[in-house]
Amino acid sequence: MKKAAEAAFFIAHHSSLITRHVIGFEAMLPSPVHAVTLVCHPETPTEAVRGITARVSRTPGKLAVSYVLVGALDRLRVPAPRAPRIAERLWQHTCCEIFVASKGMPTYYEFNLSPSGEWAAYAFDGYRSRTGEACAEGLAPEIAVRGSASMLELDAVIRLDRLSKLRSGAPLALALSAVIEDGDGALSYWALRHPAGRPDFHHSEAFSLELAAPTTPPARAGSPSRAGG
């Protein structure tokens, strides 16, 4: 009963935020949408999760990612809702992660997105080599969460135009991942692609999703030109 009450509170608490944010997320969908599936690392199996998928869309200056987890939520530990804020070590519990790099470049960003509404952002000059550019309020993503007894969805919008280490207009290389905490505290690790060995979301092989730069639609014939010099 306690878990059911917590789940009901979790869903109700987010309902108003969800309505506002989903409209914004759906508005990005006219650009190409990439549907992908995350895979559980073979060394961290779980029976509580049946699968995790994601949809990804890029528009000028923004990246939208929607995660969908299907499973028995009453057998998972899902962080309780809180006011949006920066928080550390979110990856020690259930959270979604997005790694963003310009294709072919060693620098990248990591975003941790908790169902609680908390978040963190880190910048790297190379493999696990963190820089001082991290967790600035200006990097705050938009996060919305909704769920049921068998599904948890997390939508996030990241402002690419505020990530100074990315090359403007260049193709992106993304690594999408998730950490899921079972009811007994065990963690399972999910990613688009796992390198050999232990789970490692930072590994270059994890950046397996490429997104081309968005194109600007051509002006329609006969459209009036803008006034100006």
Cα 216 to Cα 59, 83, 146: the distances in Å are 10, 36, 32
Q: How far does CA 85 lie from the centroid of its chain?
A: 16
Percentage of the residues of the chain whose pLDDT score is greater than 70: 79
Which positions ≥6 away from 1 have C-beta within 8 Å? Answer: none
Res 4 pLDDT > 90: no
The pLDDT value given to residue 19: 34
For 77, phi then psi, to 5°, come to -100, 110
- Residue listed under structure tokens 């692609």: 193
Integer-rounded Cα radius of gyration of the chain: 18
The pLDDT value given to residue 50: 98
Least confident window among 2-11, 94-103, 192-201: 2-11
Q: pLDDT tens digit string along 112-168?
A: 999 999 999 999 999 999 987 666 788 999 999 999 999 999 999 999 999 999 998
* Model confidence band, residue 206 (pLDDT cutoffs 50, 70, 90): very high
CATH assignment of 2-211, among 3.30.590.20, 2.60.40.1190, 3.40.50.2300, 3.50.30.40: 2.60.40.1190
- AA identity, residue 64: A
The pLDDT value given to residue 32: 85
- AA identity, residue 152: L
Question: Do residues 169 and 29 make contact, with C-beta atoms less than 8 angstroms apart?
Answer: no
The rounded distance, in Å, linking the Cα atoms of 33 and 201 is 23
Q: Within a 10 A sphere around the Cβ of 130, how many other Cβ atoms?
A: 12
Question: Do residues 53 and 35 make contact, with C-beta atoms less than 8 angstroms apart?
Answer: yes
Average pLDDT over residues 61-80: 97
The pLDDT value given to residue 220: 55
Q: pLDDT tens digit string along 8-41?
A: 334 433 333 333 344 345 545 556 899 999 999 9
Cα 97 to Cα 73, 117, 215, 216, 220: the distances in Å are 19, 13, 26, 29, 39
